[in-house]
Amino acid sequence: MQTLKIIKIGGNIINDEKSLALFLDGFAQLASPKILVHGGGKLATELASQMNVGVKMIDGRRITNSNTLDIITMVYAGKINKNIVAKLQAKNCNTIGFSGADGNTIQAVKRPVKTVDYGFVGDIKKVNTTSIQVLLDHDITPVFCAITHDENGQLLNTNADTIASALAIAFANTYAVELYYCFEKNGVLQDINNEDSVIENINTESYQTLLKNGVISDGMLPKLNNCFYAIAHQVQKVCIGKPAMLFNETQKHTTIQK
């Protein structure tokens, strides 16, 4: 079975031009098929601050009102996505930038209000692999931003980690899927202030212990939840760490196991 690499980048990699350039140099050289998913929350938060739009987060997830949705659409689907696509084209990596609305690739529903009203946030309902497969078959790399749609004309903010996980699961019957979450840390850290304290392997049991002891919190919570969901749905490999883990087997990182 052919391997499909799905790679999600976020955090300081996107904000730092040098880090982004180094990542894209390596990504362009990776064998196809591959899919790139990007976040951009930090840049969206900065723009929101400049526009005096308040930002509210709960358990690492952004509350999205109409003003916030306008900002993240501009940042995610516009500035960041097209910047990445252009830079990859310059490296002879043929790409097309996507939101979930493009090609009807990722359909979602507005998250129902339970204890928290997240606003215009989407929970993924379906991934249209047919449209994406056409691109992969022609050696074109999709680059997804963190926007989906509800099939009724409404765009929805959707966690980029969740999009990466959903894409990985959708293709798990077609490919041997490897899912990588790349950010500025070496992996999941035992001590957030010690870059060398990488927890190299986390399984379901050890994850519960880490949660109980408060080692994992905030933005890492949704990331790890998505990791475990993917590994439970036939995704072959799930790793978290710096982009160097993609190109250097000795690079420390965290591997998620059942």
- Taking the CB of residue 134, how many other CB atoms lie within 10 A of it? 11
- List, in sequence order, every residue forming a beta bridge with 239; answer none if it has no partner: 180, 255
pLDDT at 244: 94
Nearest to 33, CA basis, from 181, 149, 234, 167: 167
Range with the lowest mean pLDDT among 10-19, 57-66, 200-209? 57-66
Return the percentage of the chain with pLDDT > 90, whole number: 71
pLDDT at 253: 96
pTM for the whole structure: 0.93
Cα distance between residue 51 and residue 71, in whole Å: 9
CATH class, 3-256 region? alpha beta
Q: Is the pLDDT of residue 5 over 80?
A: yes
Cα distance between residue 218 and residue 179, in whole Å: 21
pLDDT at 60: 65
pLDDT at 222: 81
Cβ burial of 42 (10 Å; 0-12, 13-18, 19+) is middle
pLDDT at 40: 87
pLDDT at 100: 97
Range with the lowest mean pLDDT among 123-137, 141-155, 181-195, 210-224? 210-224
Pair of tokens at residue 197? 């304290």
pLDDT, tens digit (0-9, with 9 covering 90-100), for 199-249: 999 998 999 999 888 888 777 888 898 999 999 999 999 999 999 999 998
Q: Is the pLDDT of residue 83 over 70?
A: yes
Question: Mean per-residue pLDDT for 45-58?
Answer: 80
